[in-house]
Each structure stands twice: as C-alpha cells, then as structure tokens.
C-alpha cells in the first residue's frame, strides 16, 4: 500500500535545509510513500520547487500565512484536509519554523506529525521554547549536537528525538574538472582555487575567510551564494586588498561543476547542524577545511577525511589552506577518504530507510500500538 507524506517547507530561500529535503524526497521508496511538497510561492525557493517537480514529486503552493494565527493556519488546513496524508513532515531551519503548517496538520488530524531539526538557534530575546514542538511525534535531529541542544535548551523529551544524519545522492564518480570554468574564475592566473558555497550570512563566518585570504597569496577564493552581507563582505575584501582574488558569484545552481573546478572546499561556519555542502564536497573528492563545531565534526574526522580548525580563527584557517596548497598528495588523500566516508555513512538511500522507519513507528503509535 502506498501512503502519502506531505513535506512542508516554509522558508523563502534555498539553502541546506531545502537541499536536504530534496535529497530525502528523491530517495523515498515510491512503492511505499508518495511524497508531496507543500510550500509557499516565494521566488527564493524556485530551485527547490523546480527540482522536485523534475523528480516527479507533486508540488502544492499555498499562500504564505498573514494576519492572525488562525487566518494563517486555515489555507494550510484546507490543503492538508484535501491531501489526507498519513505523515506530515516539516523541515525546520530553526526551532520556530513551520509553526503554521504544524498546527494545521494537528487540526487536520494527520496521523503522524514529524519534523526534521536542521539547526539549533537560541530563541531571541528570552523567548520560551515554541509550544508547537509538542505536536511532533518525532523530531529527527540531523546530528547528535542538534539533539543535545533540543533536549537541553528547548526541553524536548529525549524519547521524541531520533538522530538521522543529513545525506546526499552520491554521484557514481567524482566530477571531471571544467577547464573553461576554472579559467573564467581565476582570470588566467595559475592560482590555487578555494570554493565556499554558502549563504552570505553571519552564521557562515565569511569575514574570517576574507581575513585568511589576506594571509594566503596565490589563491583565488570563490564565494558562491547570496545573502544580506554581500555588500559588506565585498567592501571588506577591498579593504583587505584581496578583492582581485575574491570572486562573488551570487546564487548558483552549478555547485557540482564548481566543486569539480576547485582545489579545496572551505566552510568557516560559526555553527551548523550537519551541513549538506560539506557532504557534497566530500562526495566530489574535494579536500575539506571546516570549523571544528558540533555537527560538522560528526562528518569530518580531522587529518583523516578533512581538516578542522577553530572557529573565528583566520590564522588557523590560513595555515590549513597553505598546508593543502603545498601538499597536493595529502590533499588528494583526504579527498579520497572523504568520498569513502560519505558512501559509507551519508548516502541518501540509507537515510531514507531510517526516515521511513520513523514514519512506520509514528503510525503504529497513532493507531495506539504503543506510546501516546
């Protein structure tokens, strides 16, 4: 029997959470589960909607909630009543995300309400943990770090949480370098190329990357992504004298080609859940330098499948970049080991199996088999 699962995304930008949702929907067993993407019609997630449709996933747009709490819930409630899913799966980019859709699912009496917690962010201004978290039968944490923070700081019962790491569809082979694209990026210079595909947001630590760039000559830094800090970061690059070696590409849909072109992947984030971009770089056999923060350190074992450096430390970041620039054999070794680790532990097929097991568990509970 095929049952329906509605995946709900309430974001207005395409980032790691949306990428992870896409990988999961694409990997579900369609003989058991029919995925439907429920979203709001924002241009910032056009890529998610288009790629989901290309994968044969039905997409359903509902106007973004406005006005009172009830007025915001009603259109989502109507959509869920019409779809009659067995599972409502919310993709939480932060703890207060997806609250209207989750309330609508509860009011529509969807049997199983599940959330994926991509990231922990402390509630601003001393706000109390969102009560809507109590509506989930299961919250899937993408890392042990996210689970720990949800239990300790949001007071979510540990029995509600299960860790299922983010995953990707691992390509059959590492991509081939695009010589023309590389020439375009480096402007004819024989530079070592560092790629950082990430939203230009304080979380991602780009300012420390630019400060590291000032300490590493002969390297072109390619920043793929857009966000509220773009103008500020471009000005900082000029002030540091590295604007000629820092390429701001804006939002790009060709990250696999950029990975194939780069010599090194760097992610200087200040906090993460379990970044999909790191997994994609590992699958592409790119050596990775990232910050030693919760979540990322569950994907990368330093000196084995990448290098981890302290956050907010441009000198350590620059040192790691110089080390891999000077030792291509070691860089290659890290890339090969990274791909092997992704194949072993972070494939979307394995994650989809675990998520479908969660779906089955919550439906048994909903029927009164055990639990609530």
| Residue 370 clears pLDDT 60, i.e. is over it | no
Look at residue 70 and tell me whether its pLDDT is greater than 80.
Answer: no
Q: Please report where in the chains the tokens 């994926």 appear, as a residue.
A: 116
Mean pLDDT of 22-34: 96
By three-state DSSP, how is residue 349 classified? helix
138-160 average pLDDT score: 95
Give pLDDT tens digits for 151-167: 999 999 999 999 999 99
User: How many whole angstroms separate alpha carbon 37 and alpha carbon 286?
Assistant: 32
| Alpha carbons 322 and 192: distance in angstroms, whole number | 10
**Per-residue pLDDT reduced to its tens digit, 45-61:** 999 999 999 999 999 99
pTM of the predicted structure, to 2 decimals: 0.89
Residue 372 clears pLDDT 60, i.e. is over it? no
Ranges for all domains in the chain classified under CATH 3.40.50.2000:
3-167+347-366, 179-345
Instruction: Write out the DSSP string of 141-183.
Output: ESSHHHHHHHHHHH---GGGEEE----B---SSPPPP-HHHHH
Which residues, including other chains, have CB under 8 Å from residue 17's CB and lie 6 or more apart?
9, 11, 91, 92, 93, 116, 118, 119
In terms of CATH, what superfamily is 3-167+347-366?
Answer: Glycogen Phosphorylase B; (3.40.50.2000)
Give residue-wise pLDDT tens across range 304-342: 999 999 999 999 999 999 999 999 999 999 999 999 999
C-alpha 331/C-alpha 352 separation (Å) is 31
CATH of domain 179-345: 3.40.50.2000
Residue 130: in which H helix or E strand, if any?
A: none
Distances (CA, A) of 284 to 124, 246, 257, 336, 370: 37, 22, 10, 9, 43
Strand order in the sheet with 246-250: 246-250, 219-224, 192-197, 264-267, 288-291, 307-309
């Amino acid at each position: 029997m095929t049952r329906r699962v509605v995946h709900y995304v309430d974001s207005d930008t395409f980032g790691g959470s949306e990428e992870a949702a896409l990988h999961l929907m694409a990997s579900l067993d369609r003989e058991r589960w029919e995925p439907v993407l429920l979203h709001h019609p924002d241009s910032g997630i056009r890529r998610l909607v288009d790629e989901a449709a290309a994968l044969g996933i039905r997409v359903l747009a509902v106007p973004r909630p406005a006005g009172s709490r009830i007025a915001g819930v009603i259109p989502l409630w109507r959509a869920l009543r019409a779809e009659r899913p067995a599972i409502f799966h919310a993709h939480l980019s932060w703890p207060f995300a997806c609250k209207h859709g989750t309330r609508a699912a509860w009011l529509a009496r969807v049997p199983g309400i599940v959330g994926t917690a991509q990231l922990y962010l402390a509630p601003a201004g001393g706000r109390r943990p969102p009560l809507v978290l109590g509506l989930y039968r299961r919250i899937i944490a993408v890392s042990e770090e996210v689970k720990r923070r949800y239990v300790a700081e949001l007071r979510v019962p540990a029995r509600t949480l299960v860790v299922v790491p983010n995953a990707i569809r691992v390509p059959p082979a590492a991509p081939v370098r695009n010589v023309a694209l590389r020439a375009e990026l480096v402007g004819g210079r024989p530079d070592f190329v560092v790629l950082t595909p990430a939203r230009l947001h304080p979380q991602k630590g780009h300012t420390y990357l630019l400060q590291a760039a000032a300490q590493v000559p002969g390297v072109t830094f390619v920043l793929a992504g857009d966000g509220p800090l773009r103008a500020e970061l471009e000005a900082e690059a000029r002030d540091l004298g590295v604007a000629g070696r820092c390429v701001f590409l804006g939002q790009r849909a060709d990250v696999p080609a950029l990975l194939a072109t780069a010599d090194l992947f760097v992610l200087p984030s200040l906090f993460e859940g379990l970044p999909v971009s790191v997994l994609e770089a590992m699958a592409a056999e790119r050596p990775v330098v990232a910050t030693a923060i919760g979540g990322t350190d569950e994907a990368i074992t330093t000196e084995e499948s990448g290098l981890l450096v302290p956050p907010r430390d441009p000198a350590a970041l620059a040192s790691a970049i110089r080390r891999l620039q000077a030792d291509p054999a070691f860089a290659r070794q890290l890339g090969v080991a990274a791909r092997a680790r992704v194949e072993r532990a972070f494939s979307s097929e394995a994650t989809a199996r675990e998520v479908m097991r969660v779906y089955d568990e919550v439906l048994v509970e909903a029927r009164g088999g055990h639990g609530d």
